Copies of this chain bind each other. A is one copy, B any other.
Amino acid sequence: MEINFRCGECPIRHRAICAYCDEPELERLDDIKSYKAYSAGETIVWAGEEAPLIGSLVSGVATLSRSLKDGRRQMVGLLLPSDFIGRPGRKVAPYDVVAANDVLICQFRVNKFNILIDDTPALERRLLDMTMDELDSAREWMLLLGRKTAREKIASVLVIFARRGAELQHSELGDGLRFEVPLTREAMADYLGLTIETVSRQFSALKKSGVIIMEDARHIRVPDYVRLLNEASDDSDGGVIA
Q: In the complex, which residues 118-170 of chain A have their Cβ closer than 8 Å to any Cβ of chain B? A: 121, 124-125, 127-128, 131-132, 134-136, 138-143, 145-148
Closest to A152 in B: B68
Q: Quick check: is A236 within 8 A (CB to CB) of the other chain?
A: yes
Known: A70-B233, A74-B147. A239 touches B94 (CB 8 A): yes
Asked if A147 and B68 make an inter-chain contact with CB atoms under 8 angstroms apart, the answer reads: yes
Q: Is the interface of A mostly helix, strand, loop or mixed?
A: mixed
Known: A237-B48, A242-B90. A139 touches B69 (CB 8 A): no
Q: How many copies does the complex hold?
A: 2
Chain A, interface size category, equals 35 or more
Q: Quick check: is A192 within 8 A (CB to CB) of the other chain?
A: yes
Per the bound structure, the CA–CA distance linking A233 and B77 in Å amounts to: 21
Lowest 7 A-B CB distances belong to which pairs?
A146-B193, A76-B139, A145-B145, A138-B138, A74-B146, A72-B147, A74-B143
Q: Quick check: is A241 within 8 A (CB to CB) of the other chain?
A: yes
Q: Quick check: is A215 within 8 A (CB to CB) of the other chain?
A: no
Q: How far is the CB of A144 from chain B (nearest CB, A)?
A: 9
Asked if A48 and B240 make an inter-chain contact with CB atoms under 8 angstroms apart, the answer reads: yes
In the bound complex, residues from chain B placing their C-beta under 8 Å from that of A134 are: 135
In the bound complex, residues from chain B placing their C-beta under 8 Å from that of A77 are: 139
In the bound complex, residues from chain B placing their C-beta under 8 Å from that of A68 are: 143, 147-148, 233-235
Q: Quick check: is A66 within 8 A (CB to CB) of the other chain?
A: yes
Q: Quick check: is A73 within 8 A (CB to CB) of the other chain?
A: yes
Which of B70, B146, B240 is A192 in contact with, Cβ under 8 Å?
Answer: B146
Query: Which positions in A face B, CB cutoff 8 Å?
Result: 47-48, 64, 66-70, 72-74, 76-77, 87, 90, 92, 94-95, 121, 124-125, 127-128, 131-132, 134-136, 138-143, 145-148, 192-193, 233-237, 239-242
In the bound complex, residues from chain B placing their C-beta under 8 Å from that of A48 are: 237, 240
Known: A69-B233, A94-B136, A239-B94. A142 touches B145 (CB 8 A): yes
Per the bound structure, the CA–CA distance linking A122 and B94 in Å amounts to: 26
Q: How far is the CB of A225 from chain B (nearest CB, A)?
A: 18
